[in-house]
Amino acid sequence: MDDKKHAKFQGRLVFVGFGSVGQGTLPLILRHIDMPRDRVSIITADERGRKEAEQYGIKFVINPLKRDNYQKILEPLLGRGDFLLNLSVDVSSAVLIEYCLQRGVFYLDTCIEPWHGMYTDGSLPPGKRSNYGLREEVLEFRKKYPTGATVVLTHGANPGLISHWVKQGMVNIARDVWGDVKIPKTKEEWGRLAMKLGIKVIHCAERDTQVAEPRKQRFEFANTWSVDGFVSEGRQPSELGWGTHEKHFPADGHRHDFGCGSAIYLGRPGVSVKVRSWTPSEGPYHGFMITHGESISIADYLTVRDDGRVIYRPTCHYAYHPCDDAVLSNHEMGGKNWIAQSKYRILMDEIFEGVDELGALLMGHSKGAYWFGSRLSIQQARKLAPYNNATSLQVAAGVLGAVVWAMENPDAGIVEPDELDYRRVLDIADPYLGEIIGEYSDWTPLKERGWLFEEDVDKADPWQFKNFRVI
């Protein structure tokens, strides 16, 4: 692997949280960012990752951030020109973001997290427990802090790289359909390109086939990345960007009465909602429609308005088939009415085969469906970087790309993945993503439907959400 330095950084860099993604990201940061190791430190909630940190001589401190102590803990570690890399769970992203904005500190996270307990607070209405609500809360800071040190929201693999794959996928389709194409530079231009191409639906389509030994045990939640993160987001309301072509509003669907209006939510946890999707290796599959930031931000970014009226927006959502052990873990958790297992296991060294195939599936255009993204095997991941499996390395590559972009663009203020230079981020991330694949398909969610039982589908428009949802 090329050890090229992508950026030189003079400040201090603090990891908050050091689970599987943090452990996988650290070697990439040290490999590609020119900075002394004694200026990197880790603040985390438990012992996970201590051995990996000590391997690189990185300061490792167990001191969980809470509402009443985060300022005291961070004050001696972060000042103007430093970088907070937030890879934690159960720590409020909004609080850390404002802390950084007030002090001129760079910031990046992979999802917008609340304080512990908010996701499962039954006294809050589902709309307030949604990613839509968390995103709107953070974007409000743009009014109070219109300029300042760069704060990158929700940038790992998905959300993160998926936004750049959407853009590259659109460019590829446009070139195949029209020949040469002018690369859009603004939000408006990207939205117009999506509308002109006729893209109706965008999936973050992911199939994880990694297998470990021993297999999942009874009363254990096994997964290839953060179990805490997966369980938390899986129990949030299922969310999707809601397209202008949609004719059948879900019976359990709800609109928000605040914010940008790009998304809706269902009155069910994401791990209980399944949708039909497609990836090149797997073909058709059923995935969980778990809420993710990209479902909302991509739909919002590609929205086209005419005199304030929305005239185009694609439907956008996650379609996630995790590793088989995680599927079984979800099934077991569902049987306990979404009370999570007491024992967690992140599958890492025990994985012996499998790939994570993750990309953007763009549908409804003149060529049908087009998938663009990463196919990364466990064998490739282990050759490319230590302390990673295929899933964590895709996330770590996205983090690295966005960290470098932030260092190169230090005064961007608050930005989402869709607002970064997609080619620059991908150029940095691609060496860690295995095979980069673009593939067309004639698949639709109506393919081979109704042969066994009659189904209620919209045959006039295969790209209706009604046809994707598994009932």
| pLDDT tens digits, 412-446 | 999 999 999 999 999 999 999 999 999 999 999 99
Nearest CA-CA partner of 360 in 278, 416, 286, 450: 278
Nearest CA-CA partner of 165 in 296, 7, 298: 298
Q: Quote the mean pLDDT of the chain.
A: 97
Q: Residue 163's pLDDT is what?
A: 98
Residue with the two structure tokens 């003149």: 366
Average pLDDT on 307-326 reads: 98
What region does 76 belong to: left with phi over 0, alpha with psi -120 to 50, or beta? alpha
Question: Which stretches within 283-323 are classed as H helix?
Answer: 293-301
Average pLDDT on 266-288 reads: 98
Average pLDDT on 38-45 reads: 98
pLDDT above 80: residue 1: no
How far apart CA 59 and CA 61 sit, in angstroms, is 7
Q: Residue 120's pLDDT is what?
A: 86
| E strands in 224-367 | 237-241, 253-255, 263-269, 274-279, 283-288, 304-306, 309-312, 315-321, 343-346, 351-353, 355-365
Q: Residue 16's pLDDT is what?
A: 98
Nearest CA-CA partner of 248 in 320, 315, 297: 315
Q: Which two tokens stand for residue 370?
A: 């087009």
Q: Residue 396's pLDDT is what?
A: 98
Angle between helices 390-408 and 422-429 (to 10 degrees): 130
pLDDT above 80: residue 463: yes
Q: Residue 49's pLDDT is what?
A: 96
Residue 24 CA: distances (Å) to CA of 335, 371, 386: 32, 26, 7
Start-to-end Cα distance in the chain: 46
Residue 242 CA: distances (Å) to CA of 230, 239, 280, 404, 416: 23, 9, 25, 32, 19
Q: Based on C-alpha coordinates, what's the Rg of the chain? A: 21
Q: Quick check: 315 and 201 in contact, CB under 8 A?
A: yes
Average pLDDT on 63-71 reads: 97
Q: Quick check: 152 and 160 in contact, CB under 8 A?
A: no
Domains and CATH numbers, the chain: 7-152 (3.40.50.720), 161-391+431-470 (3.30.360.30)
pLDDT above 90: residue 55: yes
Q: Quick check: 216 and 330 in contact, CB under 8 A?
A: no
**Which residues on neighbouring strands pair with residue 8, listed in sequence order?**
34
How far apart CA 187 and CA 418 sit, in angstroms, is 8
Interval 98-147: pLDDT, tens? 999 999 999 999 999 999 989 888 888 898 899 999 999 999 999 999 99
Interval 151-172: pLDDT, tens? 999 999 999 999 999 999 999 9
- How much of the chain, in percent, has pLDDT values that exceed 70? 100
Q: CB neighbours (10 Å) of residue 338?
A: 15
How far apart CA 50 and CA 322 sit, in angstroms, is 27
Question: Which stretches within 130-245 are classed as H helix?
Answer: 131-139, 141-144, 161-178, 187-197, 227-235
Q: Which two tokens stand for residue 137?
A: 């809360």
How far apart CA 21 and CA 39 sit, in angstroms, is 20
Q: Within its chain, how far is the Cα of 358 from the centroid?
A: 11
Average pLDDT on 436-464 reads: 97
pLDDT above 80: residue 386: yes
Residue with the two structure tokens 């959300």: 159
Interval 191-248: pLDDT, tens? 999 999 999 999 999 999 999 999 999 999 999 999 999 999 999 999 999 999 999 9
Q: Which two tokens stand for residue 220?
A: 């254990």
Backbone angles phi, psi at 398, to 5 degrees: -65, -40
